[in-house]
Structure formats: C-alpha cells, structure tokens
Amino acid sequence: QMQLQESGPGPVKPSGTLSLTCTVSGGSINTMKYYWGWIRQPPGKGPEWIGSVYYHGRTYLNPSLESRVAILIDTAKNQFSLNLTSMTAADTAVYYCARHGDILTGYFLNYFDSWGQGTLVTVSS
Amino acid sequence: EIVLTQSPAILSLSPGERATLSCRASQSVNNAYLGWYQQKSGQAPRLLIYGTSTRATGIPDRFSGSGSGTDFTLTISRLEPEDFAVYYCQQYSSSLPNTFGQGTKLEIK
C-alpha cells in the first residue's frame, strides 16, 4: 500500500516562501506509470490543483500559480517537493501531496487515487 | 478554465435513503474525465469514482456515477451512516488546469 507524507517547517510569514516535501513509501516514484501532484484546500473550500511532476522532472502547473511555484522530484530519495513564493494570507490552506491515477487509464494528469494526510500552512506575521 | 458547480450545497437525508448529487461543468468535459471524492472532517479526500462511472478500488457498489458533456451525477443508492460527508467532483480534461467543485455536504436529517 503506497503512502505519502507531507513535511514542512510550519507557519510562513507574509512575503515568505513555503517549502514542503512529500515522502513516498511502499513504492517507487521513479516510474512511468504515474504523475505526482500537489493540491491545496483553503478552510471551508474545495481543493485546488497546484501542479504535478513526472519522474524525469517535467512539470505542469496551474496557470494561476505558475509564476510563484516550483515542483521538483528526487527519485533517489523517493521524494518530490513544492516551493511557493510570495506567500499571502490567501495562501493559507491545507496542502496535500497525491498520486495521479495510472496514465494508462486515460489522460495523464488525471484523478488522484492516493493522498497524504495533509499539512496545514498558515500565513501569519 | 472549466468551472464546476455542485448542487445542492447541502443535502439532508436519512440512512437508507437514496442520494443524488449533481456536478455541472461550464464547458464540456472531454472523454467524460470526471471524478468524485468523499471527504470527512480532518481527512484527505478519498477517490470514489473516476472516468465518470468507474468505481475506485474498494468502493462499495452503492456508489455510482453517470453523465456526459456538462452534466454529471453521483448516486448513493442506500445511505449508510458512514456516507455522511462532503463530496467533491473534479474534472481532468486535457484543458488545464484540473479543477474541483465547491462541494456538497451530505448531512443526516
């Protein structure tokens, strides 16, 4: 059973940078079968896709965030990471890492079939 | 960007009843690339349905999905106590970005 776990430094100050890491266990991220993604969910709202990365480093980003987002993958450590710059209160949310479904089921940036537990990121001075 | 509108915002039903949740897209969803998730308080979303009507691994057959184009439905045939939660739809057509609806809260009447 594949498991994903987010980790990060906790609260972020306004104008600061959020850095989160997702550690994957129970399987390798160095595979052609899946993309790996980041999603966030502000309190009381629906989820928002941030972006996704493939094993060789190719990324796809939400156009609304792409000027502030970087997603990297480290197959040696079985991890992928998120950096989000210029944080404001509007970025306060629970941040999840997740695995997309098998690309053979259809479009490669598809649904999310495995999720981390999420980490609450609060932007506050 | 494809905007998903879910209705109703809140649905109040009793265990044993049938639930019908709606998800309407602002433009046609290619290849019926639509999924449904269940989220309980303090937990991550859980995939129920993908490709409009395919149940994810381990999902009971009381959950079913249907629809095409811009109108999609999640049906729960007979509500169990553990089904009361918030439900989200997600479209993943080839037009980025992937987007989610704002959710339907299914509460006990």
Which one-letter amino acid corresponds to residue B35? G
Nearest CA-CA partner of A37 in A67, A84, A80, A85: A80
Give the tens place of pLDDT for each residue, A70-87: 999 999 999 999 999 999
- Any CB–CB contact under 8 A between A67 and chain B? no
Chain A residues touching residue B90 (CB < 8 angstroms) = 47, 111-112
Distance CA B66, CA B89 (A): 12
Chain A residues touching residue B5 (CB < 8 angstroms) = none
Give the position of tokens 């001075």: A125
Give the tens place of pLDDT for each residue, B1-53: 999 999 999 999 999 999 999 999 999 998 889 999 999 999 999 999 999 99
**Record: contact B45-A47, CB cut-off 8 A:** yes
**Record: contact A116-B96, CB cut-off 8 A:** no
Distance CA B101, CA A70 (A): 25
- Any CB–CB contact under 8 A between B45 and chain A? yes
**Record: contact B47-A111, CB cut-off 8 A:** yes
Distance CA A103, CA B70 (A): 23
- Any CB–CB contact under 8 A between A56 and chain B? no
Do residues A105 and A35 make contact, with C-beta atoms less than 8 angstroms apart?
A: no
Distance CA A96, CA A109 (A): 16
Instruction: Please tell me which of the candidates A48, A63, A98 has its beta carbon nearest to residue B96.
Output: A63
- Name the pLDDT band for A98 (thresholds 50, 70, 90): very high
Nearest CA-CA partner of B9 in B96, B101, B100: B101
Q: Give the pLDDT score at A44.
A: 94
Q: Where are the beta strands (DSSP E) in chain B?
A: 4-7, 10-13, 19-25, 34-39, 46-50, 54-55, 63-68, 71-76, 86-91, 99-100, 104-108
Backbone CA torsion sign across B27, A109, B22, B9:
negative
Give the tens place of pLDDT for each residue, B73-90: 999 999 999 999 999 999
- Any CB–CB contact under 8 A between B105 and chain A? no
Do residues A44 and A21 make contact, with C-beta atoms less than 8 angstroms apart?
A: no
**Record: contact A47-B100, CB cut-off 8 A:** yes
- Any CB–CB contact under 8 A between A40 and chain B? no
**Record: contact B43-A48, CB cut-off 8 A:** no
Q: Give the pLDDT score at A1.
A: 87
Distance CA B12, CA A107 (A): 35
Do residues B88 and B39 make contact, with C-beta atoms less than 8 angstroms apart?
A: yes
Backbone CA torsion sign across B56, B60, B61, B63:
negative
Q: Give the pLDDT score at A66.
A: 96
